[in-house]
C-alpha cells in the first residue's frame, strides 16, 4: 500500500505512546510502518524533491499532535505522551481525526496572548475548497509553525547564558544598535541585578534597551512579581526601556502590570512570538528553498509600441 496521509497516523502514533514511555522517532516510525503493513519500497519512497515521504508525513503528524498538547519532546528526536494526552486516551481514545486535533490546537492557541497564528483551524477551508494562492498561504503557515516548534525546542535546551546572547543577537538583527557597539551587551552572571543584557541602540549609549531572558518550559508562566522585580532593576539603573523575553508564557497579571506602567516601557515577548521574530529576521534558521510567484505584467502589454 502507499504511505498514509499524515492525519491517518494520528491514532497509531498515540496508540504507540500510550504506554507512557519515551520513544525515539525511529521507534515510532517502525511501529507505524508495521501497523500499516508498509513494504520496504513504501518506506523508501520519496517526493520529487528527494525527501522521504514516510519521514515527512510522520513529522507532520508529530507537529500536529504536539501543537494540540497531546505529546511532548522530552529530548531531541524523542517523543512521549503528555499528561493531557493520557487523559484523552483514558476517555476512550480513537478520536484522533484531523478535525478533532485541529480543535485541540485552537483551544491551546487561545491560551497565548502574544503568539503566532495556529497553523490551521476550523475557519480554514478544506484543500478542495481553496484557491492555489490560499493553499500556498496555508502551507507557509504550516511550515513556519513547525519551524517555530523546533526553534523553541532548541531554545529550551540551551544554556541560560547562551540564551541571553540569542536575545541580544535578535535585537541586533532587528536593527537595534550595531555588533561592534554591543560586544559586552550580556551582563556577567553574578551581580547583574536582574538585568541580563543592555543593548545600546546608538553609538553614545543615550538610548539603551535593558533585557531579561527566561529560558523556561513552554507551558511555564512568568508572573507579575517577576515583572515587578525587572522593573525595580531598571529603575535602580535609571533605565526607561525594558524587554522581557521568555520561552514560556506570561500570566494575565504580568501582562496587565506591564501595560499599566506608563513611566517605563516594558515589552513582553513570549515563546511563540520569540520564534516568530527569529524566523522573520533569519536568526537560527536558514533558507532551504525559494519559490517565485509571477503574474502577467499588464503595463508591458498595454505600453505604446
Q: Evaluate if residue 305 carries a pLDDT over 60.
A: no
Is the pLDDT at 293 greater than 50? The verdict is yes
Are the C-beta atoms of 261 and 234 separated by less than 8 Å? no
The predicted-structure confidence for 227-263, as pLDDT tens digits, reads as follows 999 999 999 988 999 999 999 999 999 999 999 987 8
pLDDT bucket at 138, cuts 50 / 70 / 90: confident
pLDDT of 289 > 90? The answer is no
What is the Cα–Cα distance from 125 to 6, expressed in whole angstroms? Answer: 18
Provide, rounded to the nearest whole percent, the portion of the chain with pLDDT above 90.
50
The pLDDT mean for the chain works out to 85
pLDDT of residue 116: 39
* Torsions phi, psi for 286 (to 5 deg): -140, 150
The pLDDT assigned to 124 comes to 46
Q: Say if residue 189's pLDDT is above 60.
A: no
**DSSP label at residue 244:** E
Q: What is the pLDDT of residue 297?
A: 87
Rounded average pLDDT over 22-37? 96
Distance from the first to the final alpha carbon of the chain? 58
Question: What percent of the chain lies above the pLDDT cut of 70?
Answer: 88
- Non-local (6+) Cβ contacts of 275 within 8 A are 116, 147, 148, 149, 151, 152, 155
Lowest mean pLDDT among 215-224, 236-245, 296-305: 296-305
Q: What is the mean pLDDT of residues 22-41?
A: 95
Tally the residues of the chain. Answer: 305
- Among 107-111, 163-167, 193-197, whose mean pLDDT is lowest? 107-111
Predicted pLDDT at 93: 59
Rounded to an integer, the average pLDDT of 120-147 is 69
* pLDDT(96) > 60: yes
Q: Residue 266 pLDDT more than 80?
A: yes
Is the pLDDT reported for residue 120 higher than 50? no
Query: Given this model, what pLDDT does residue 127 score?
Result: 54
Output the pLDDT for position 204.
72
Pairing label, strands 197-200, 208-214:
antiparallel
Specify the DSSP element, H or E, that contains 305: none
Region 114-142 average pLDDT = 60
Q: Which residue has the cell 527566561?
A: 214
Distance CA 273, CA 176 (A): 18
| pLDDT value for 118 | 41
Q: In what order do the strands lie in the sheet with 197-200?
A: 197-200, 208-214, 241-246, 265-269
The whole-angstrom separation of Cα 138 and Cα 271 is 22
Q: Inform me whether the pLDDT recorded for 192 exceeds 70.
A: no
Predicted local distance difference test score (pLDDT) of residue 300: 85
Q: Widest CA span of the chain, in angstroms?
A: 74
Q: Is the pLDDT of residue 226 over 60?
A: yes
Amino acid at each position: 500500500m502507499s504511505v498514509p496521509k499524515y492525519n491517518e497516523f494520528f491514532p497509531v502514533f498515540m496508540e504507540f505512546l500510550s504506554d507512557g514511555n519515551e520513544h525515539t522517532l525511529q521507534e515510532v516510525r517502525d511501529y507505524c510502518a508495521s501497523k500499516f503493513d508498509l513494504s520496504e519500497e513504501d518506506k523508501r519512497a520519496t517526493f520529487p524533491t528527494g525527501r522521504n515521504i514516510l519521514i515527512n508525513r510522520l513529522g507532520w503528524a508529530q507537529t500536529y499532535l504536539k501543537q494540540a498538547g497531546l505529546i511532548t519532546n522530552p529530548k531531541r528526536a524523542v517523543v512521549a505522551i503528555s499528561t493531557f494526552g493520557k487523559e484523552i486516551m483514558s476517555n476512550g481514545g480513537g478520536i484522533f481525526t484531523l478535525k478533532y486535533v485541529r480543535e485541540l490546537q485552537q483551544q491551546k492557541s487561545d491560551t497565548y496572548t502574544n503568539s503566532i497564528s495556529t497553523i490551521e483551524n476550523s475557519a480554514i477551508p478544506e484543500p478542495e475548497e481553496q484557491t492555489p494562492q490560499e493553499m500556498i498561504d496555508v502551507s507557509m503557515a504550516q511550515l513556519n509553525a513547525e519551524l517555530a516548534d523546533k526553534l523553541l525546542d532548541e531554545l529550551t535546551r540551551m544554556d541560560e547564558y547562551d540564551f541571553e546572547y540569542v536575545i541580544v543577537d535578535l535585537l541586533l538583527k532587528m536593527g537595534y544598535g550595531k555588533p561592534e557597539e554591543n560586544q559586552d551587551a550580556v551582563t556577567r552572571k553574578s551581580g547583574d541585578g536582574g538585568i541580563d543584557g543592555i543593548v545600546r541602540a546608538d553609538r553614545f549609549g543615550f538610548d539603551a534597551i535593558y533585557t531579561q531572558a527566561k529560558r523556561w518550559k513552554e507551558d511555564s508562566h512568568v508572573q507579575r512579581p517577576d515583572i515587578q522585580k525587572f522593573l525595580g532593576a531598571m529603575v535602580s539603573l535609571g533605565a526607561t526601556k525594558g524587554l522581557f523575553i521568555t520561552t514560556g508564557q506570561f500570566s494575565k497579571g504580568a501582562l496587565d502590570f506591564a501595560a499599566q506602567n506608563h513611566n517605563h516601557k516594558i515589552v513582553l515577548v513570549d515563546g511563540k512570538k520569540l520564534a516568530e521574530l527569529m524566523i522573520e529576521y533569519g536568526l537560527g534558521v536558514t533558507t532551504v528553498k525559494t519559490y517565485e510567484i509571477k503574474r502577467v505584467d499588464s503595463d508591458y502589454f498595454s505600453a505604446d509600441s
